[in-house]
Amino acid sequence: MTAADTTAAPGAAGGTGPAVAVEHLDVTYRVRSQDRRALRDVSFQIDSGESYGLVGESGSGKSTVALALTRYLPRNGRVSAGTIRINGADPLAMGNSALRNLRAHTVSMVYQEPGRALNPSIRVGRQVAEVYEIAGLHHAEALERAEGMLRKVQISDPHRVMDRYPHELSGGMAQRVVIAMALAAEPSLLILDEPTTALDATVEAEVLDLIAGLREEFATSVLFISHNLAVIAKMCDRVGVLYAGELIEEGPAREVFDKPRHPYTVGLLRCIPRRGQRKDHGRLDTIPGFLPTPGDEPAGCIFAPRCPIAEDQCRAAPPPPFPVGDGRTSRCYLYEQTEDLPRNTPVNLDIPPVRDAGRPVVRLERLSKTFGSRDEAVKALVGVNLSLELGETLGLVGESGSGKTTLARALLGLIPPDEGSVIDLDGEPVAPDARRRSREQLKALQIVFQNPDSALNRRHTVRRLISQPLSRLAGLSGARLRERLADLVRSVRMEDRQLSLRPSQLSGGLKQRVAIARAFAGGPRIVVCDEPTSALDVSVQAAILNLLVDLQAKERVTYLFISHDLGLVRYLSDRIAVLYLGRVMELGPAETVFAGPHHPYTEALLSAVPSLDGQRPERIRLQGEIPSAANPPSGCVFHTRCPRRLPTGECESTEPPLREVAPGHLMSCHIPIDQLTVLQRVGQAP
């Protein structure tokens, strides 16, 4: 299924009236005896058979729309104005039995966490069959239909899966089961609320393909909710952009993303590195400011306080949805000026190149880590050789379970690697355990964790959190500490008055800035960034990435940047290492790794990522999920999923060495590089 197919779908939309019609919808939450509007004047329509996307950052009200449609709003929420029609019927006016009927037969929902949508104590088969039993089928027949449905969602060996409990399934499998249950009722409307956000990119690609395919088969209307613009672009015919509870722009997905007509949409798209953009091409644009506090309603346009082109009229009265052609609307008075919207952040190309190739700061040799006992050894890392050069960013990519985080923790000394592993810092071996490292060595290696909520002690104030490494690592005290603290706070773009706050009083982006300040406090040589922006919204992410680039230039640090988002890795990294089951599959300059020829695994990772930039050649698909590290496949560990496996049997029998295929470009694959080049250039699917 390609994007071309999805955009063709509106033509197929037939039937009687729209599947969903929402008009002037207001939803209000009552919080501490105050009404706060979470949705304001939201109107949209989903035609029968159409796939409609809702995008927005956290707090924009995406999920509230879904809850309002099915009348699942929490006790303190209510629809305070407007109308909802699902297949012409009004769920707000329904009695209990009609509402039950609507939820059982007309609308199905799939949520982000498949693990929480399944009952942990009931076998998978029973749970799916239950849907058919509610529809009136007998026990045996329901089980039979359930098995058929599981086959339709491409679960191999559905008969065995039926007997499993939900906890025995992987995330991707569980989400397939949830989708099977959702479709079993043959709903006319399927609501998908971030259905792939919790999944790996490769699994996400499979699940998205599945949803697209099933949509054609069942002719279901879809409301697809996501924060991921690329996923929406791939999956939806039309899209609505939500900001602070208002639908600020709407239209056909491809056109909205190609030529946005609202400053917020423009800003959002500019926050994402696209079309191979890299850090040396200039900084990312950001959206300054913050989402308004719920309940704070400005007199004019809700986006005006953050808009670079806002005028007096914008602040005076809220703009109505202006038709801007091709079935598109934009709630912006100045929609004609959005094409050349001024940047909020200057491109600022005078960032000096900091990389000093050929001067390794850290060398990892034969780094291995085995968890568990001898009988059940799980090899998380197997003989990894890597070096980090001064001032470079090494991107570390791979699916979950590939050993990225284990590598980072071993480097930092948080988990001791196996006997025989070597970690060299400036040519000198360092102790495997952080407790035995000198202050200089501790100073040199620091980390920005993925989740600042977990990385910052919630009982301490910002001042204390940042002072702690200043006194421990930099050995400062008194006036010199205060001076350096002020410097540091300024360089992560925070303000003095935030020093007395605790983490719970800060937004996600600010918390991550505190974590970055802590990592930089001691003057580190190497900073490990373990998915530093994955918990953040797109607009916040851009500001954090800019900050990381600035700090690298200023402090001449080396980054080990771990991320599942290949776009980010490409933007930030000078070199990239691809890990699979604890082994380096490919290592090379970022541009080379992205341009190809790639290792088949890298190729699969790249083609799994949905893109905002339109078409990509037919991609290669990975079958199944990453095998268990306790029992890795023989030969090349990737052969079980490799779509380009050689017919000679070599892949199954011998493990390919990591060899240099071009200067600085290493790959672990039996397929000769020339052959890979040919195969991948023609975009030939295996």
Partner 1 sequence: MSGLIGSSDLGSPTPAEAPELTAAHAAIRRSVPPWRLMLRRPTFIAGGVILLFWIACAIFGTVIAPHNPTAQQLLATNAPPSAAHWFGTDQLGRDVLSRVIVGAREILLIAVAATILGTVLGTALGLVMGYFGGIFDILIGRVVEAVLALPIAIVAFLFIVAVGPSTGTLIVVIGIVFTPLIARTVRSAVLVESQLDYLSSARLLGEKPAHIMAVEVLPNVLPVVLVEFTVRIGYAVFTVATLSFLGFGVQPPTPDWGADIAANYGVLPAGYWWETLFPALAIASLVVAVNLVTDSIEQVLSS
Q: Which parts of this chain interact with partner 1 (CB under 8 A)?
A: 32, 283, 286, 288-293, 296, 305-306, 344-346, 348, 350, 409, 412-414, 434-435, 437, 439, 442, 445-447, 449-451, 454-460, 468-469, 472-473, 487, 490-491, 493, 495, 497-498, 501, 504-507, 510, 518, 543, 546, 550, 554
Q: What is the DSSP letter of 498?
A: G
Structure tokens at 123: 């076998």
* Closest approach of partner 1 to the CB of residue 412, in Å: 6
Nearer to partner 1, 139 or 490 (CB): 490
* Closest approach of partner 1 to the CB of residue 395, in Å: 21
Nearer to partner 1, 477 or 504 (CB): 504
Residues ≥6 apart with Cβ < 8 Å to 21: 45, 46, 83, 84, 85
For residues 80 and 28, is the Cβ–Cβ distance under 8 A? yes
Nearer to partner 1, 87 or 446 (CB): 446
* Closest approach of partner 1 to the CB of residue 590, in Å: 24
Residue for token pair 């006016």? 93
* Closest approach of partner 1 to the CB of residue 413, in Å: 8
Nearer to partner 1, 424 or 550 (CB): 550
For residues 188 and 19, is the Cβ–Cβ distance under 8 A? yes
Nearer to partner 1, 189 or 542 (CB): 542
Instruction: Label each residue of 326-379 as H, E or C.
Output: CCCEECCCCHHHHHHCCCCCCCCCCCCCCCEEEEEEEEEEEEEEEECCCCCCEE
Q: Residue 160: phi, psi to the nearest 5?
A: -75, -40
Nearer to partner 1, 221 or 405 (CB): 405
- How many angstroms separate the Cα of 520 from the Cα of each of 26, 510, 514, 559, 561? 45, 15, 10, 12, 15
- CA separation for the pair 679, 371 (Å, rounded): 38
* Closest approach of partner 1 to the CB of residue 490, in Å: 6
* Closest approach of partner 1 to the CB of residue 468, in Å: 6
* Closest approach of partner 1 to the CB of residue 658, in Å: 30
Q: What is the DSSP letter of 103?
A: I
- CA separation for the pair 582, 401 (Å, rounded): 8
Instruction: Label each residue of 188-206 as H, E or C.
Output: CEEEEECCCCCCCHHHHHH
For residues 133 and 197, is the Cβ–Cβ distance under 8 A? no
Structure tokens at 198: 């919790």
Nearer to partner 1, 187 or 413 (CB): 413
- CA separation for the pair 415, 449 (Å, rounded): 15
Structure tokens at 73: 């709003």
Nearer to partner 1, 374 or 497 (CB): 497
Nearer to partner 1, 518 or 599 (CB): 518
CA diameter of the chain = 79
* Closest approach of partner 1 to the CB of residue 77, in Å: 19
* Closest approach of partner 1 to the CB of residue 530, in Å: 9
- CA separation for the pair 638, 643 (Å, rounded): 10
Nearer to partner 1, 286 or 680 (CB): 286
Based on the number of CB atoms within 10 Å of its own CB, is 548 exposed (0-12), middle (13-18) or buried (19 or more)? buried
* Closest approach of partner 1 to the CB of residue 565, in Å: 20
Residues ≥6 apart with Cβ < 8 Å to 293: none
Nearer to partner 1, 394 or 528 (CB): 528
Going by their DSSP bridges, the two strands 378-390 and 356-371 should be labelled as antiparallel
* Closest approach of partner 1 to the CB of residue 292, in Å: 5
Residue for token pair 């200023």? 554
Query: Residue type for 426, please?
Result: D
